[in-house]
Amino acid sequence: MIERLHTNIRSSKIVKHNGTVYLTGQVAEGDTVTEQTEKCLAKIESLLEEAGSDKEHILQTTIWLADISDFAEMNEVWNAWVPQGHAPARACGESRLARDILKVEFIITAAVKGS
């Protein structure tokens, strides 16, 4: 069974299937990549909780940066957020994002707790 939450014409914020949670790309506004990363990670935590998961159950993360020179700044926030011993598989690259003000986007796949 596939469960879709917060669905609109374009996407669902959460899709659950066979004990796996897929989150739509998370972006946030802010003046710096640090601010945007902090806001994105807070949104991710909230969505994972709603889906019956948490950051200790993240399986894979894809991170897109509008400017790869922001890599170290984003990593500073990410490294402090990821629980020790629970780092997911991760990829990070540079990409043009949907709006010019966006500096970072996170795409998350996680396991439902107890799966």
Mean pLDDT across 56-63: 98
Going 62 to 66 to 71 to 76, the CA torsion angle's sign is negative
pLDDT tens-digit profile of 22-45? 999 999 999 999 999 999 999 999
Which residue range(s) make up the domain with 71? 2-111
Q: Residue 107, Cβ neighbours under 10 Å: how many?
A: 16
Per-residue confidence (pLDDT) for residue 115, from 0 to 100: 84
Which pTM was predicted? 0.95
Q: What is the CATH number of the domain that holds 96?
A: 3.30.1330.40
Per-residue confidence (pLDDT) for residue 50, from 0 to 100: 98
pLDDT tens-digit profile of 60-104? 999 999 999 999 999 999 999 999 999 999 999 999 999 999 999
Q: How far is CA 3 from CA 20, 22, 44, in A?
A: 10, 10, 18
Instruction: Count how many domains the chain has.
Output: 1
